[in-house]
Amino acid sequence: MSAVPRSEKPVGRFRRMLERLSSSQEDLESEELREDAESAGCTRIGDCHDRQIVTVTGTLRTVTLRPRAGVPALEAELFDGSAALDLVWLGRRSIVGIEPGRKLIASGRISMSRGRRVLFNPKYELRPLGRE
């Protein structure tokens, strides 16, 4: 018997392949997004805290126009595989390139609103299309 507990043993190539085959499509996409965030040198959304200045990356899941206090506001949900973050551009009805499925990098100060992470008027950079 080995002295190393089963959970700490190195994972072999065959086991990794079996895990990928038995994982759902959503799990695989989440893992890919987490790896993408790590390789871009960005903070994982799940690790972000209130009032922290961050740079995050992910894929836009939803984009909606929702007025806030009578002012138009474009809201988008960014997902990086670890958690979701709301991006809100106040005074904007639309922004070219901000659409569901688009990958981007966003920077700003995290706020908490109703238990969700929010970036108001973030600086952003659209990621190139066609890398999939």
- pLDDT single digits (tens) 43-85: 999 999 999 999 999 999 999 999 888 889 999 999 998 899 9
User: Is pLDDT larger for residue 52 or for residue 132?
Assistant: 52
Can you give the pLDDT at residue 19?
67
Which of 60, 33, 62, 50 lies closest to 108, judged by CA? 50
| CA 64 – CA 89 distance, rounded (Å) | 11
**Residue 100: how many other CB atoms lie within 10 Å:** 12
Q: Give this prediction's pTM.
A: 0.74
Q: State the pLDDT confidence band at 120, using cuts at 50, 70 and 90.
A: very high
Instruction: Say whether pLDDT at 10 is over 60.
Output: no
